[in-house]
Amino acid sequence: MGAREVVLRLEGITKRFGKLTANDDIGFALHRGEVLALLGENGAGKTTLMNILFGHYTADSGTVEVFGQPLPPGAPGAALAAGVGMVHQHFTLAGNMTVLENILLGTRPLFGMGLGRGAARARVEQLSRDFGLAVHPDAKVKTLSVGERQRVEILKALYRDARILILDEPTAVLTPQESDALFETLKKAVAQGLSIIFISHKLHEVTAVSDRVIVLRHGRVVGEVATDQTDRHRIAEMMVGAEVALPHPPLGRAGTALMELRDVSTPPEGNRTGLRRVTLSLKAGQITGLAGVSGNGQGALADLVSGLIAPDSGELRVAGQTVARWSPRAALAAGVGRIPEDRHATGSIADFTLTENAVLEGYARPPFSRAGWMDWTRARAHAEDIIEKYDVRCPGPEARIRLLSGGNMQKLILGRALEAGPKIILANQPVRGLDIGALTYVQECLIAARDAGAAVLLISEDLDEIRALSDVIHVMSEGRLSPEFPRGSKTPAELGQWMAGQGFADAA
Amino acid sequence: MRLEPVAAPGLARTLGLPALAIAATVVVASALAMLAGANPFATLGLIVKGAAGSKFAALETLNRATPLIFTGLAVAVAFRAKLWNIGAEAQLYAGALMTVLIGTQMGLPGPVAIPAMAIAAVLAGALVLLGPVLLKVRLGVDEVVTTLLFNFIMLLFISMLLEGPLKDPMGMGWPKSEAIPRDARLPRIVDGLRLHWGFGLALISAVVVWVIQVKTTLGYEIRAVGQNPQAARFAGIPVGRVMVKTALLSGGLAALAGFSEVAGLKGNLTLDLSPGFGYTGIVVAMLALLHPLGVVVSALFVAGIFVGADSMSRAAEVPTYIADISVATALLFMVLAILLTRFRVVRG
Amino acid sequence: MEIFDILVSASFWAAVLRIASPLIFATMGELICERAGVLNLGIEGIMVFGAFAGWMAVYAGLGLWPGVLVAFASGALFGLAHATLTVPFGLSQHVVGLGVTLLATSSAYYAYRLALPEVTSPPRIEPFQPLDIPVLSDIPFLGEALFSQTALTYLAFATVLIVALVLYRTPLGLALRAAGENPSAVEAQGLSVTAIRMGAVMVGSGMMAVGGAFLTMSAFSSFFFEMVNGRGWICIALVVFGAWMPGKALLGALLFAGFDALQIRMQQTPLGADIPYQVFLMVPYVLSILALVAMSRRAEVPAALMVPYNRGER
């Protein structure tokens, strides 16, 4: 690695939001030509730190130095100008503009004339070749795949002569193969003298690409190790404070099929993949795990099970009967309990109280209403039940749900679904973003529901979670569903190949 | 700058900031009075006196508040569901039209005519809003513009009728309808006082709307759809149907303003029946934070400003439009104040 | 055929351009706001104030062009109020827009009464005069139809060209379009979403005010209450009809003006005499609704329209 020139140094960064300390005296240095992995669970303070670096937040105390020069706090653009480029997890691209226009955005004086497209296009094509980032400069961004969009993000940084590249959870949306291509690009970048911060919570990637690992927990740096002098378990321990223990539930006793999909297809919606001739059987007493890179049809399948969309072709059978009219209400009536992917946008109403949220799915029927009149006494009692039984930490049933932490909000949603006594449970990313306590609790509830005879469909991007909890596993790729694999019958690598689309009958 | 939620806003914040908004409005009004060369204190005094300084003034304010309560309720109900009904003016005229039609053409006896007029008015108002709402629900056409444009179409339609089939032959050429018979008019609440039962009906409506919002499944659905349609749809609430029901309720309420103005006050239909009650209803509803009972209070406040300003401008050389400016200013200051009760502005 | 006679008269086409001009200014103004992500329902009131301000400035002794500038500045000021509330504070664009319309309209009326307390009919000013473009205006038919307009009409058409050039050919236009589509793209490249949106709303509002001023300074020569008469709302429909593109919006404005000019002339035909004039007057509003319906499923709405942006939140 030669001379260990420090290109970026953070010292004593502290940022508080009200009572919460998001960043607590964080400090570390990035050296030229190294890949530094920044590791931590959700809520560990990674995003806040990046927002401070890019001037979107002003730190309460602490300094940032880039190439030895202090960065003025709270000045968006200063980091960019100093040669730091960021690839955000949620892409910062305008879909209505071309690749070239997105790259050019903000690179010229705002009130200047002309865009100099010709020279810019040549430069972008050169960079594409040098770093292995194939993408057409004149394509509209909204027509691009997720992988291509990420390449545009990287090109944006390179076009601005970034010497430091920060990637936030870059592989969350990529297939294993696309991830490998990304790692190749990163290697080329390092070879050219760039330095990289790689933010992730996936251990195996971190160990694969990084030279050094820094672990954040509760807003503090809790560990720093050279990657080649440690192993995954040690890092995992640092992340959560104790070794992560995934549950090892015994296999469930599969009963009759409660919900069956036969050759079901649904049309794609906008950018979202539809289902392509999916056949699936959800059996009583069984957790069916659905693995796959996000955006490969899991959304459509979840919407279908929860009643938001109906099959375009094929057959949906619930409890042995073909379903004619399918809607959220029909799904609820058929005994489908739903834990949606996005608890804020879909699962709850932020300004409603816990009581109002607790009856969101059941308000139209007794005991919560009769002949159009709400029975708020019963509703409140129901909310209090859930709060107690599911250990929802809150000021009370009349508090607005927006005040709750993600874990407590999820427990209320879980309680709402489970208290209705569902026969079929859709759990879409049920533990994403939860702290370890809530996570374990939610998983235990799902296992208990299975043991009580419910058919559970568990959708997750976390392969370890899927492999630990599921009795049987399916993989989705481009809207297609793999055959059923019993627990333990496939290695992660084999599942990864299915995730990349290999093995399907109509593989194209 | 950045907005940061205030976890538990104190009383000083929740009451102080709105009070500050009203104070700021008073400052603006004073400045306007000074621009007109008048003494601001005297001007404000005259406005207050004109709005509530005598029995006559107070009754005038109550009368003026009546249609504003109806249109304010109409807007409050719709905005709760994030249904942007800016067409209360058209629905008001639809209600007034049906009132005149039933009242003058059917020859019904008074006790039958009054409920018949009211029901017909509600139906017509509901129908007028149904069009834009169906376009919104079915085709995704933005209802702000369609309801706005309907206001102009409706006014032209009324104008056409008033110069055609509905024209009063005794009207000396003015575009106005025949008057409905005396026995089909809304009675006074108290004999001898110029305040008709339209005001009573408005109060009752406010209570009814409030009960609907807090006690019924429809009210719950309306609030859910307004706050988060995606979550509402996921939970099985039929979002489109709720929108339509909301529209029927909203349009009907606005139409009652027309019914009450014709049957309670004017007796006939003219093109100046409403000096923008439909638009002012938006201000009334927003000042009330969309709360049905609050609408009554804010309607009285807004009506007071208008009545007071009318009376003031007869005495001082300050144009009555000072009332319109004050009301608009109050609206803008108030929405800002309400935001700041929940969020604080922080640097960086 | 009466319609045919109307369509082949040069005066008809001249009228189309005249009627379209205020709509073009205001539609371009609204388009800029919406492209940056802000729905500006202040448009109707801002046009009223612009109509008053430009006219009053000239009545008070200013020249015509300074009058246009005064109108623009007054619109930008109301735009500043709108943008302050809707951009950094992120308040409802519906409520603030309607509030600004109420405020601007009543301010214009108040100021009018203050300035001319005793007047029953508003005084006239010397408006912009038709400007024959050398050579072009001598072309038979076309010259009379297209090239004998006032300077403000030519400016309206030039505005479309400028707006299109800025939007698609300059760094500023890039930032503006991105701000209305994905503001975090703008922020990530080191630009300020707040500044871009506020600037767009101010300039757009200024253009709306010039659209209003066209009515008092070019089309008519005095200020009447209710003279804007829903034109602002029609312009909002035209932006949708034009799919947020300057060229298509111009086409929409011309089409619209064509129908409007036609209905005015149809009123004077024997056929028109049998139909109540109100039916003709309804045509623009009905057309606007039809335009919205026609475009409802097709247009690509700027993705971040009406979505407030809070820095650092994503």
Counted across chains A and C, CB pairs separated by less than 8 A come out at 89
Instruction: Give the pLDDT confidence score for residue A465 in this predicted structure.
Output: 85
Q: Domain limits of chain C?
A: 2-117+132-295
List the subunits that have 3+ CB pairs under 8 angstroms with A.
Answer: B, C
Instruction: Give the pLDDT confidence score for residue C312 in this predicted structure.
Output: 47
Q: Identify whether B199 is part of a domain.
A: yes
Q: Identify whether B335 is part of a domain.
A: no
Alpha-carbon separation of residue C147 from A52, C10, C99, C116 (angstroms):
58, 11, 39, 36
| B36 interfaces chain C, CB cutoff of 8 Å | yes
Q: Helix or strand or coil: residue B195?
A: coil
| A169 interfaces chain C, CB cutoff of 8 Å | no
Q: Identify whether B88 is part of a domain.
A: yes
How far B197 CA lies from chain C's nearest CA (Å)? Answer: 30
DSSP assignment, residue B135?
A: I
User: Is the pLDDT confidence value at C24 over 70?
Assistant: yes
Q: Identify whether B259 is part of a domain.
A: yes
**What kind and span of H or E run contains C86?**
helix C64-86
Within 8 A of C181 by CB-CB distance, chain A residues are 94-97
Within 8 A of A95 by CB-CB distance, chain C residues are 181-182, 303
Q: Please state the pTM of the whole predicted model.
A: 0.90
Q: Which of B215, B223, B228 sits opposite A373 (nearest CB)?
A: B215
List the subunits that have 3+ CB pairs under 8 angstroms with B.
Answer: A, C
Closest residue by Cα to residue A92 from A139, A37, A152: A152
Strands A369-370 and A313-318 turn out to be unpaired
| Region of A323 on the Ramachandran plot (φ > 0 left; ψ -120 to 50 alpha; else beta) | beta
Question: Helix B55-80 and helix B197-215: axis angle, to 10°?
Answer: 30
Within 8 A of A308 by CB-CB distance, chain B residues are 233-234
How far C145 CA lies from chain B's nearest CA (Å)? Answer: 30
d(CA A300, CA A507): 20
Residues belonging to chain C: 314
In this predicted model, which residue has the larger pLDDT, A272 or C284? Answer: C284
Closest residue by Cα to residue A430 from A262, A243, A268, A302: A302
d(CA A47, CA B149): 46
Q: Do C170 and A112 touch (CB under 8 A)?
A: yes
Strands A257-265 and A220-226 turn out to be unpaired
Instruction: Give the pLDDT confidence score for residue A114 in this predicted structure.
Output: 83
Instruction: Give the pLDDT confidence score for residue A241 in this predicted structure.
Output: 62
Q: Which of B35, B153, B324 sits opposite C282 (nearest CB)?
A: B153
Q: Hey, of C167, C170, C245, C307, which one would you mutate to test binding to chain A, going by the most A CBs within 10 A of its CB?
A: C170
DSSP assignment, residue B216?
A: B
d(CA C267, CA A508): 65
Q: In sequence order, which residues have a C-beta less than 8 Å from that of residue B12 and are 6 or more positions away? A: none
pLDDT beneath 50: ranges in chain A:
1-2, 507-508
Within 8 A of C95 by CB-CB distance, chain B residues are 282, 286, 331, 335
DSSP assignment, residue A96?
A: T
Q: Do C296 and B139 touch (CB under 8 A)?
A: yes
**List of domains in chain A:** 6-240 (3.40.50.300), 247-335+422-508 (3.40.50.300), 350-420 (no CATH)
Weakest-pLDDT range from A443-447, B191-195, C168-172, C251-255: B191-195
d(CA C86, CA C91): 5
Count of domains for chain B:
1
Q: Identify whether B13 is part of a domain.
A: no
Interface of B with C in 12-31 (CB under 8 A): none
Pull the structure tokens for residue A273: 């993949």
Q: Closest residue of B to C235, CA-based?
A: B145
Peptide bond just before C127 cis, omega within 30 deg: no
> A377: buried, middle or exposed (CB in 10 Å: 19+, 13-18, 0-12)?
exposed
Helix, strand, coil share (%) of chain C residues, nearest 5: 70, 0, 25
List the subunits that have 3+ CB pairs under 8 angstroms with C.
Answer: A, B
Instruction: Give the pLDDT confidence score for residue A253 in this predicted structure.
Output: 87
| A437 interfaces chain C, CB cutoff of 8 Å | no
d(CA A504, CA A487): 19
Alpha helices in chain B (DSSP H): 11-35, 40-52, 55-80, 88-105, 110-134, 143-163, 197-215, 217-227, 229-234, 239-260, 277-287, 292-315, 321-342
Q: Which of B156, B317, B324 sits opposite C106 (nearest CB)?
A: B324
In this predicted model, which residue has the larger pLDDT, B192 or C93? Answer: C93
Instruction: Give the pLDDT confidence score for residue A252 in this predicted structure.
Output: 85
d(CA B68, CA B199): 10
Q: Which of A76, A96, A108 sits opposite C177 (nearest CB)?
A: A96
Q: Which of A106, A111, A112 sits opposite C191 (nearest CB)?
A: A106
Q: Are C33 and C302 within 8 A, CB to CB?
A: no
Q: Do B236 and A307 touch (CB under 8 A)?
A: yes
Q: Closest residue of C to B348, CA-based?
A: C311
Beta bridge partners of A20: A17
d(CA A303, CA A311): 10
Token pair 């430091």 is at which residue? A164
Closest residue by Cα to residue B123 from B30, B252, B19, B224: B252
Q: Closest residue of B to A75, CA-based?
A: B348
Instruction: Give the pLDDT confidence score for residue A202 in this predicted structure.
Output: 73
> What is the interface pTM, i.e. ipTM, of the complex?
0.92
Q: Identify whether B70 is part of a domain.
A: yes
Q: Identify whether B151 is part of a domain.
A: yes
Residue B211: Cβ within 10 Å count: 13
Residue A404: Cβ within 10 Å count: 22
Closest residue by Cα to residue C238 from C182, C294, C282: C294
| pLDDT tens digits for range C104-120 | 999 999 999 999 988 88
Domain C2-117+132-295 has CATH 1.25.40: no
Q: Do C103 and B36 touch (CB under 8 A)?
A: no
Within 8 A of B223 by CB-CB distance, chain A residues are 352
Average pLDDT, chain C: 91
Q: Are B21 and B330 within 8 A, CB to CB?
A: yes
Weakest-pLDDT range from A197-201, A352-356, C52-56, C225-229: A197-201
Alpha helices in B164-291 (DSSP H): 197-215, 217-227, 229-234, 239-260, 277-287
Instruction: Give the pLDDT confidence score for residue C97 in this predicted structure.
Output: 96
Q: Identify whether B128 is part of a domain.
A: yes
Within 8 A of A88 by CB-CB distance, chain C residues are 184, 188, 314
| pLDDT tens digits for range B226-266 | 999 999 999 999 999 999 999 999 999 999 999 999 999 99
| pLDDT tens digits for range C111-161 | 999 999 888 888 999 899 888 878 787 888 777 777 778 899 999 999 999
Alpha-carbon separation of residue C105 from A461, C29, C101 (angstroms):
56, 18, 6
Question: Which residues span the domain enclosing B136?
Answer: 66-289
- The whole-number average pLDDT for the span C287-298 is 84
d(CA C158, CA C200): 18
| pLDDT tens digits for range C73-86 | 999 999 999 999 99
User: Is the pLDDT confidence value at B10 over 90?
Assistant: no
d(CA A351, CA B164): 52
